[in-house]
């Protein structure tokens, strides 16, 4: 499942959530620290693990 990084504008904290694509599209994410819904998704690094050696 994808990991998403968020920034809360109310308490200025960054947090991470693991959401399915359906959950990400359906729900308004709340900050786990203060409960505010004033959050914006941050850019994060992408990584992939493969079994093929280069």
Domain boundaries, the chain: 3-42
**Residues with Cβ < 8 Å from 16, sequence gap 6 or more?**
3, 4, 5, 6
**In the CATH scheme, what architecture does the domain 3-42 have?**
Single Sheet (2.20)
CA angle 2, 6, 28 (to 5 degrees): 85
pTM: 0.70
**Per-residue model confidence as pLDDT tens digits over 16-51:** 998 888 887 887 889 999 999 999 998 766 666 677
């Amino acid at each position: 499942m994808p990991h998403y990084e968020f920034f809360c504008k109310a308490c200025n904290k960054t947090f991470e959530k693991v959401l399915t694509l359906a959950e990400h599209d359906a729900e308004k994410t709340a900050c786990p620290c203060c409960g505010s819904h004033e959050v914006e998704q941050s850019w994060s690094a992408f990584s992939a693990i493969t079994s093929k050696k280069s």
